[in-house]
C-alpha cells in the first residue's frame, strides 16, 4: 500500500484516465449503439443488414484484436489520428493513443449496446408503435417519442452490465501506451515487487468504486423511470 500512497498522484491520474476512457467511449457507444439498434428494427432493408453485419463482426471479435487493428493496421493505412494532437480541450492536449483507444472501445461496445437496446425495443408491445404510426408519426418520430423511451426502461439492467464491462475493458488500453489504471499498477508492482498484494488491492478497490458508482446510478435511473408510468 505504501507504494500507492507515496505515488497517490499517479494513482489518481491513472484512474482519471480510466474514467476518461470509460466516459467518452461509454457515451459514444450509447449513441452509436442506439442508432444501430434503430437500423436493426427499422424498415430499411439495407441498413438492417448493415447493422446486423456490424454486430456480428464486432461482437464476435476479441477486443484486443480491435485494439491491435486500431493501433497497428490503421496507421499503416494512413489513419494514425496524430492530427488530434494539435487539439486542446480544457487545457489538455488530446493524445492520439486516447483517440485510438476510445474508437476501439466504442466500436466494440456499440455492438453490445445495439443488442441491449434491441431487446428493449422488442419488449415494447407492437401496439405502441402502431398507435404512434396511426396518429401520423413518422418511423423516426415513433421510435424517438414512443418506443425508445419505453424500451429504455427494459434496457437499463442489461445496459448497465454492458457499461460495467466497458469500465473493465478500458484496461486493454494498457497494452497500447495508455498509462491508465492497469498500466500504472504494472509499473508500480515492477518497482515495488515486495508490495504487490497491497498494490493489487489498491487498484482493485479503485475499479470496485467506479463500477459501484455506475451500478448505483443505474439503480437510481431505474427507480426514476419506474415511478414515471
Partner 1 sequence: MTAQQETAPVSAGRGEPLVVLSDVQKHFGQLHALKDIELTVTRGEVVVVIGPSGSGKSTLCRTINRLETIDEGTITLDGQPLPQEGKALAALRAEVGMVFQSFNLFAHKTILENVTLGPIKVRGMKKEAADTKARELLERVGVGHQAEKYPAQLSGGQQQRVAIARALAMEPKVMLFDEPTSALDPEMIKEVLDVMVDLAEQGMTMIVVTHEMGFARTAADRVVFMADGAIVEEGTPEEFFTNPKSDRAKDFLGKILKH
Residues lying near partner 1 in the complex (CB under 8 A) are found at 43, 125, 127-128, 130-138, 141, 145-146, 149-150, 153, 228-229
Q: How far is the CB of 144 from partner 1 (least distance, A)?
A: 9
φ, ψ of residue 92 to 5 degrees: the values are: -105, 140
Output 70 or 148, the one with its CB closest to partner 1: 148
Output the CA torsion 10→181→200→204 (10° steps): 120
How far apart (Å, rounded) are the C-alpha atoms in residues 175 and 157?
30
Residue 89's SS3 state is strand
Output 147 or 178, the one with its CB closest to partner 1: 147
Output 5 or 123, the one with its CB closest to partner 1: 123
Q: How far is the CB of 33 from partner 1 (least distance, A)?
A: 21
Q: How far is the CB of 119 from partner 1 (least distance, A)?
A: 18
What is the Cβ-side half-sphere exposure of residue 20, based on CA atoms within 13 angstroms?
Answer: 19
Residue 195, Cβ density class (10 Å: 0-12 exposed, 13-18 middle, ≥19 buried): middle
Q: Give me the helix-helix angle, 196-227 and 148-169, nearest 10°.
A: 180
Q: How far is the CB of 136 from partner 1 (least distance, A)?
A: 3
Output 62 or 149, the one with its CB closest to partner 1: 149
Start-to-end Cα distance in the chain:
49
Q: How far is the CB of 58 from partner 1 (least distance, A)?
A: 30
How far apart (Å, rounded) are the C-alpha atoms in residues 24 and 31?
11
Output 80 or 128, the one with its CB closest to partner 1: 128
Amino acid at each position: 500500500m505504501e507504494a500507492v500512497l507515496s505515488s497517490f498522484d499517479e494513482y489518481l491520474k491513472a484512474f482519471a484516465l480510466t474514467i476518461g476512457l470509460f466516459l467518452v467511449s461509454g457515451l459514444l457507444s450509447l449513441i452509436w449503439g442506439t442508432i444501430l439498434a434503430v437500423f436493426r428494427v427499422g424498415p430499411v432493408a439495407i441498413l438492417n443488414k448493415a447493422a446486423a453485419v456490424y454486430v456480428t463482426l464486432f461482437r464476435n471479435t476479441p477486443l484486443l484484436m480491435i485494439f491491435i487493428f486500431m493501433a497497428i493496421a490503421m496507421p499503416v493505412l494512413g489513419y494514425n489520428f496524430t492530427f488530434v494532437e494539435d487539439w486542446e480541450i480544457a487545457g489538455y492536449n488530446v493524445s492520439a493513443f486516447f483517440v485510438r483507444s476510445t474508437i476501439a472501445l466504442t466500436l466494440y461496445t456499440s455492438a453490445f449496446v445495439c443488442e441491449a437496446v434491441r431487446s428493449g425495443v422488442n419488449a415494447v408491445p407492437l401496439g405502441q408503435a402502431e398507435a404512434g404510426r396511426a396518429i401520423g408519426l413518422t418511423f423516426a418520430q415513433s421510435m424517438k417519442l414512443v418506443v425508445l423511451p419505453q424500451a429504455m426502461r427494459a434496457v437499463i439492467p442489461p445496459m448497465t452490465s454492458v457499461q460495467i464491462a466497458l469500465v473493465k475493458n478500458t484496461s486493454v488500453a494498457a497494452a497500447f501506451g495508455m498509462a491508465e489504471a492497469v498500466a500504472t499498477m504494472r509499473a508500480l508492482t515492477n518497482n515495488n515487487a515486495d508490495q504487490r498484494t497491497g498494490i493489487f488491492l489498491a487498484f482493485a478497490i479503485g475499479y470496485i468504486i467506479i463500477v459501484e458508482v455506475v451500478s448505483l446510478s443505474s439503480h437510481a435511473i431505474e427507480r426514476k423511470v419506474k415511478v414515471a408510468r
